[in-house]
């Protein structure tokens, strides 16, 4: 409907002041643009399109109804009050529907906002019913739905709980009386009234009517009696619009023409802009009793009633006012009803709120939809949409809202990883102290002296330090503990293997040099051995000092070692600033000594165990190598494990404990056993029994090689020969089974050879004395020895013995003597048998006479023993010398005599 108000100016019938009242929708309202161009003020009673509030384009437009932007804001407030964050919108084509939804930025799967005409509203509700989704959707309707019954006729079950909005209005009673009294006779001026009559009463007035199938109107029908009548909701606003224009003209006339009852000349030059100013300044109480005002954009204030379509006690649905919106929302939540009798407000969200510690990952194009992502790893929730990484020494708390310090740990004494190595270390320390105490207690006994007291104490000290390092590795790290770790980590092993290496090297040099010469090797005295061991240890200490200078000891907290995937299991490890590589380097020198000692043990493996410690040392080193070969892959294989601290520390300490225990058990426990449980064996002269090695009849298989098979090519030499010219041929030859025809007094045998060494020089001159007592006809006497001042080696004539006649004491056993015997095999395999130098007699049993050993009992030693070998006169003396010298040497060895230097 368009109403044109025209005031004809007096005296100028062609001129008039115009204003328009209408309710044209914007797409069909091109006439409005023309009126805007002509600067004609316009007042609308029904146009709610939001863009009409743009005073730059529609500066002459005003309206007495609130724009849809207010209605949209009211809907947003309702949605927020109900806690809905995800809504859908349905809009009719056109400015009303399309522009009405632009205020919404949140969408939902269950709540539906409807900006549509009545026909479109019915279509949506019908579609919902056909899809069997009754009760699934919750509706919020705009003022086009309002409180009307026509959009939901026969669709009440679908529309139950719908919330609708309607601008505040009241029914105009006088209008109802006026409108229901209209007939075809009294309302001929309205050209559209006949069309309304036909539609309202479903009849036809003219033959040209489109309702050909309808009955003919009688003209006696009455509105509200013969048809359903409901006052149109916009009647109030139509009246208010007319009154707004009227008030504006009245105020304008009062100001410009106060003394004229009609339009005065001042209004002749007045254009629409002046009238617009009066319209915008108009303020009065409207037909419903509410004030009518305009804002700067020409819009009326937003005032809405909120309805909900509810089931009543009579099970008949009806609209109920549940609140209002006048710039702010006033919603009575307790009066709301929901489908299926639910008491709580239904949820309508695209995405549920993220839990604590989760961030929102928005869905592109859907600002109210998101995926919840956990702040994983070491991240915490910084805000709703982002996570941030905690600092290096921090981890997120349990709900990931902030960061907290990572707990600091160390290897505790009560941990199973520490209990086992500590237990082993304590046992080892007790055993080491016991062995050391035993050696100190029996310091001057043959077994202790024979083991090399000086190096034994050094070796036991190293073993003790190997056990002590266990406690340093488990103790709480600080600067002092870290410094001692660096010092003692490799020192104990270094001391142990330096002593063992010195021992094995001495044995190897003695036997190797004896192959070539009778000259004794250098640096084999106890003092020399201690000096060599100390120099080897100093290399380790020098390396530690360099380490201290380059990288002073300190503690660190390692957050990488136990930085697990689950931050709640992360721990900072308090430890010394020592890397795995530094540990291996610190142990590397000791391992080098161990490997070198093992090589020497292999080279001296053929030395008979009765004369030296080479074989026990060899077994010790073989076992130790196996222990450390097992240690290395475990140590480095767990470098990436979260249990690295425990595994590596336990593996290292147990390996050192086992290495120390192997050396202690193989080298010293047998000696302690003999000292404590068999003291009868720890004497200078055996009182009950002893062994005597008797030269057998033949040489070893190596002596029986053919001349061309022996390295030096010398002729075959046999101990048992039968030359016819030999006056002793009547004596039987001692074969592989010795034939003892007559015994020689043991006292006499002991007097045969005595080697007295003064100052040891390169020649190692040996002084031999023959007994004044003549031997039987089968042996030799002092006269014979005197006739041979240069006694040649029986198997290697290039070597000889210088003899000197001196008095020899009757009781040899009461005079400790150093005996040096040089013996060689024919195959240039030499061994230098040194008896003395504060060590157990070292002589290779059978090295020079490997076949047919004979044990002599004490009873046999008191008889005369005949060594029956058929030699020629020239060889008999030499052979007898060798036999008796060997017998004497074996008696020293078996009684474990410790012989000191004269």
CATH entry 3.40.50.2300 includes domain 68-169+303-341: yes
* Long-range CB contacts (within 8 A, 24+) of 228-231: 229/176, 229/179, 229/180, 230/148, 230/149, 231/171, 231/172, 231/175, 231/176, 231/179
**Do the domains spanning 2-67+234-292 and 68-169+303-341 agree at the CATH topology level?**
yes
Question: Taking Cα atoms as reference points, which of 171, 162, 174 lies closest to residue 122?
Answer: 162
| Nearest Cα residue to 143 out of 302, 28, 304 | 304
The residue ranges of DSSP E strands in 104-179, in sequence order, are 111-115, 138-141, 163-167
pLDDT digits (tens, 9 = 90+) for 690-738: 232 222 222 222 333 333 443 333 333 333 333 333 333 333 333 333 3
pLDDT category of residue 36 using cuts at 50, 70 and 90: low
Q: How far apart are CA 802 and CA 822, in angstroms?
A: 12
Helix (H, G, I), strand (E, B) or coil at 828: coil
Within 10 angstroms of residue 566's Cβ, the number of other Cβ atoms is: 8
Give the strand pairing for 403-405 and 555-562: unpaired
* 721: CB partners within 8 A, 6+ apart: 870, 871, 872
Percentage with pLDDT > 70 across the chain: 66
- Look at residue 467 in the predicted model and tell me its pLDDT: 94
Mean pLDDT of the chain: 71
Q: Phi and psi at residue 5, in whole multiples of 5°? A: -100, 125
Q: Is the pLDDT of residue 340 over 60?
A: yes
Give the DSSP per-residue string, 329-348. Answer: EEE-GGG---GGG-SSPPP-
Highest mean pLDDT among 148-162, 339-353, 784-798, 818-832: 148-162
Between helix 644-667 and helix 614-637 the angle, nearest 10°, is 180
81-85, 148-152, 855-859: range with lowest mean pLDDT: 855-859
How many residues can be counted in the chain? 902
Beta bridge partners of 527: none
Q: Which residue has the higher pLDDT, 543 or 212?
A: 543
pLDDT of residue 639: 64
CA distance 683 to 693: 20
What is the Cα–Cα distance from 395 to 406, expressed in whole angstroms? 6
Q: Which CATH architecture has domain 2-67+234-292?
A: 3-Layer(aba) Sandwich (3.40)
User: Which has more confidence, 895 or 238?
Assistant: 238
* pLDDT number for residue 749: 32
**Among 8-22, 164-178, 670-684, the least confident range:** 8-22
Cβ atoms 801, 785 nearer than 8 A: no
pLDDT at 466 over 90: yes
CA separation (Å) from 65 to 62, 69, 245, 643? 9, 11, 14, 76
The kind and range of the H/E element at 323 are strand 317-326
Q: What span, in angstroms and rounded, lies between the C-alpha atoms of 337 and 325?
A: 19
Mean pLDDT, to the nearest integer, of 322-350?
Answer: 86
Nearest to 44 by CA among 193, 196, 244, 250: 244
Question: What SS3 class is residue 278?
Answer: helix
Cα angle, residue 72 at apex, residues 66 and 78 outer, rounded to 5°:
115
Percent of the chain clearing pLDDT 90 (strictly above): 15
| Longest CA pairwise span in the chain (Å) | 190
Match 């000096």 to its residue by tokens.
531
Q: Which span out of 391-405, 711-725, 754-768, 863-877 was modeled with the highest average pLDDT?
A: 391-405
Query: Buried (b) or exposed (e) across 613-636, using 16+ Cβ within 10 A?
Result: bbbbbbebbebbbebbeebeeebe
Contact 834, 842 (CB under 8 A): yes
Split at pLDDT 50, 70, 90, the class of 515 is: low
What is the C-alpha separation between 148 and 20, in angstroms, rounded? 29
| Residue of 231, 125, 213 whose CA lies nearest to 177 | 231
**Whether 145 contacts 114, CB under 8 Å:** yes
Provide the pLDDT for residue 2.
41
Cα distance between residue 327 and residue 325, in whole Å: 6
The predicted-structure confidence for 787-838, as pLDDT tens digits, reads as follows 333 333 333 344 333 333 333 333 333 333 333 333 333 332 233 333 332 2
Rounded Cα distance between 669 and 895, Å, is 20
In this predicted structure, what is the pLDDT of residue 642? Answer: 62
Of 883 and 601, the structure prediction assigns the larger pLDDT to 601
**pLDDT of 660 strictly over 80:** yes
Where is average pLDDT lowest: 289-303, 468-482, 626-640, 715-729? 715-729
User: Is the CB of residue 59 less than 8 Å from the CB of residue 39?
Assistant: no
Buried/exposed code over 742-773 (b: 16+ C-beta within 10 A; e: otherwise): ebbebebbbbbbbbbbeebeeebbbbbbbbee
Confidence tier at 629 by pLDDT (50, 70, 90): confident
Whether the Cβ atoms of residue 530 and residue 503 lie closer than 8 Å to each other? no
pLDDT of residue 709: 40
Answer yes or no: are the C-beta atoms of 869 and 733 closer than 8 Å: yes
pLDDT for 723 equals 36
- Model pLDDT for residues 597-616, shown as the tens digit of each residue: 888 888 877 765 545 567 78
Q: How far apart are CA 452 and CA 441, in angstroms?
A: 15
Using an 8 Å Cβ cutoff, are 724 and 873 in contact?
A: no
The Cα 893–Cα 842 span in angstroms is: 8
Q: In three state form, how does the secondary structure of 443-501 look?
A: CCCHHHHHCCHHHHHHHHHHHHHHHHHHHHHHCCCCHHHHHHHHHHHHHHHHHHHHHHH
Say whether pLDDT at 784 is over 80. Answer: no
* Residue for token pair 């084509």: 93
Q: How far apart (Å, rounded) are the C-alpha atoms in residues 684 and 524?
A: 23
Is the pLDDT at 890 greater than 50? The verdict is no
Are 469 and 489 spatial neighbours (Cβ–Cβ below 8 Å)?
yes
- The average pLDDT across 119-137 equals 87
847: buried, middle or exposed (CB in 10 Å: 19+, 13-18, 0-12)?
buried
**Residue 697 · residue 734 · CB < 8 Å:** yes
pTM strictly above 0.75: no
Q: Which of 334, 333, 335, 330 is nearest to 312 (CA)?
A: 335
In this prediction, residue 394 carries a pLDDT of 92
Q: Confidence class of residue 366 from pLDDT cuts 50, 70 and 90?
A: confident
Write down the pLDDT at residue 17: 52
Distance CA 159, CA 753 (A): 133
Look at residue 850 and tell me whether its pLDDT is greater than 80: no
Domain ranges of the chain: 2-67+234-292, 68-169+303-341, 173-216, 358-405, 416-602+657-681, 684-902
Average pLDDT over residues 371-377: 89
Strands (E), 504-589: 555-562, 571-576
Q: For strands 819-824 and 830-835, give the pairing.
A: antiparallel
Helices (H), 257-365: 272-280
663: enclosing H helix or E strand: helix 644-667
What DSSP state is assigned to residue 354?
Answer: P
Helix (H) or strand (E) holding 13: strand 12-22
167 touches 66 (CB < 8 A)? yes
Write the pLDDT tens digit of every residue in 553-579. Answer: 999 888 887 888 888 888 888 888 888
Q: Determine phi and psi for 581, rounding to 5 degrees.
A: -65, -40
Three-state DSSP at 533 gives helix
């Amino acid at each position: 409907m368009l109403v044109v108000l025209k005031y004809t100016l007096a005296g100028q019938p062609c001129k008039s002041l115009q204003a328009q009242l209408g309710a044209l929708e914007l797409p069909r309202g091109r006439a409005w643009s023309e009126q805007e161009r002509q600067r004609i003020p316009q007042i609308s009673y029904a146009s709610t399109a939001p863009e009409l509030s743009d005073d730059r384009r529609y500066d002459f437009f005003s309206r007495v109804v609130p724009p849809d932007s207010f209605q949209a804001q009211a809907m947003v407030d309702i949605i927020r009050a109900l806690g809905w964050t995800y809504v859908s919108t349905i809009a009719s084509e056109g400015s009303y529907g399309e522009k009405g939804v632009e205020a919404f930025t949140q969408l939902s799967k269950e709540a539906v906002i409807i900006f549509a005409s009545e026909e479109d509203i019915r279509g949506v509700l019908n579609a919902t019913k056909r899809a069997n989704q009754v009760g699934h959707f919750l509706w919020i309707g705009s003022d086009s739905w309002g409180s009307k019954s026509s959009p939901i006729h026969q669709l009440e079950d679908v529309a139950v709980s719908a919330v609708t909005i309607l601008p505040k209005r009241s029914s105009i009673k006088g209008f109802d009386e006026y409108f229901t009294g209209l007939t075809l006779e009294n309302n001929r001026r309205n050209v559209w009234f006949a069309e309304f009559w036909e539609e309202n009463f479903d009849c036809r007035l003219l033959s040209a009517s489109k309702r050909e199938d309808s009955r003919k109107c009688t003209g006696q029908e009455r509105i509200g009696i013969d048809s359903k009548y409901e006052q149109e909701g916009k009647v109030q606003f139509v009246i208010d619009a007319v009154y707004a224009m009227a008030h504006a003209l009245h105020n304008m006339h009062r100001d410009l023409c106060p003394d004229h009852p009609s339009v005065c000349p001042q209004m002749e030059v007045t254009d629409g802009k002046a009238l617009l100013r009066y319209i915008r300044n108009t303020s009065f109480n409207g037909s419903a009793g509410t004030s009518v005002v305009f804002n700067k954009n020409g819009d009326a204030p937003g005032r809405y009633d909120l309805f909900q379509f509810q089931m009543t006690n009579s099970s008949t649905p009806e609209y109920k006012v549940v609140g209002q919106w006048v710039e702010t929302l006033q919603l009575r939540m307790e009066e709301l009803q929901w489908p299926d009798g639910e008491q709580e407000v239904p949820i309508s969200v695209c995405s549920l709120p993220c839990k604590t510690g989760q961030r929102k990952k928005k869905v592109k194009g859907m600002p109210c939809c998101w995926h919840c992502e956990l702040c994983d790893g070491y991240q915490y929730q910084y805000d709703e949409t982002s996570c941030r990484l905690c600092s290096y020494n921090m981890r997120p708390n349990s709900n990931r809202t902030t960061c907290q310090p990572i707990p600091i740990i160390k290897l505790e004494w009560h941990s199973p990883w520490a209990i086992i190595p500590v237990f082993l270390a304590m046992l080892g320390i007790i055993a080491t102290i016991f062995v050391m105490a035993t050696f100190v207690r029996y310091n001057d006994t043959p077994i202790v002296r024979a083991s090399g007291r000086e190096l034994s104490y050094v070796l036991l000290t190293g073993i003790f330090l190997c056990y002590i390092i266990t406690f340093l590795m488990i103790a709480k790290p600080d600067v002092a503990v870290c410094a001692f770790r660096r010092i003692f980590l490799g020192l104990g092993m270094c001391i142990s293997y330096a002593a063992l290496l010195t021992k094995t090297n001495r044995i190897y040099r003695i036997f190797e040099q004896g192959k070539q010469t009778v000259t004794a090797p250098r640096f084999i005295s106890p003092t020399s051995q201690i000096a060599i061991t100390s120099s080897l240890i100093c290399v380790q200490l020098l390396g530690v000092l360099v380490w201290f200078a380059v990288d002073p000891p300190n503690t660190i907290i390692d957050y990488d070692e136990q930085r697990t995937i689950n931050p709640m299991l992360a721990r900072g490890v308090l430890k010394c600033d020592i890397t795995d590589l530094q540990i291996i380097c610190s142990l590397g020198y000791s391992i080098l000594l161990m490997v070198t000692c093992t090589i020497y043990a292999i080279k001296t493996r053929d030395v008979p165990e009765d004369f030296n410690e080479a074989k026990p040392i060899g077994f010790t080193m073989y076992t130790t190598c196996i222990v450390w070969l097992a240690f290395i892959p475990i140590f480095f294989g767990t470098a990436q494990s979260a249990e690295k601290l425990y595994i590596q520390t336990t593996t290292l300490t147990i390996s050192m404990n086992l290495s120390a225990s192997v050396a202690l058990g193989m080298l010293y426990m047998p000696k302690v056993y003999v000292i404590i449980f068999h003291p009868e064996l720890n004497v200078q002269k055996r009182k009950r029994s002893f062994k005597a090695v008797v030269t057998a009849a033949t040489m070893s298989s190596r002596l029986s090689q053919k001349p061309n098979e022996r390295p030096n090519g010398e002729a075959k030499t046999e101990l048992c020969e039968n030359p016819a010219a030999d006056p002793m041929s009547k004596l039987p030859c001692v074969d592989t089974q010795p034939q003892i025809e007559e015994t020689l007094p043991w006292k006499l045998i002991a007097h045969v050879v005595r080697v007295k060494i003064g100052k040891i020089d390169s020649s190692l001159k040996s002084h031999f004395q023959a007994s004044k007592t003549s031997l039987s006809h089968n042996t030799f006497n002092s006269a014979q020895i005197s006739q041979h001042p240069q006694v040649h080696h029986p198997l290697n004539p290039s070597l000889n013995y210088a003899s000197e006649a001196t008095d020899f004491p009757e009781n040899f056993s009461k005079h400790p003597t150093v005996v040096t015997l040089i013996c060689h095999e024919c195959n240039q395999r030499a061994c230098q048998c040194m008896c003395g130098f504060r060590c157990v007699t070292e002589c290779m049993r059978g090295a020079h006479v490997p076949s047919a050993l004979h044990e002599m009992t004490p009873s046999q030693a008191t008889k005369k023993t005949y060594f029956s070998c058929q030699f020629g006169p020239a060889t008999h003396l030499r052979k007898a010398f060798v036999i008796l010298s060997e017998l004497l040497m074996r008696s020293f060895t078996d009684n474990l005599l410790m012989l000191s230097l004269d």
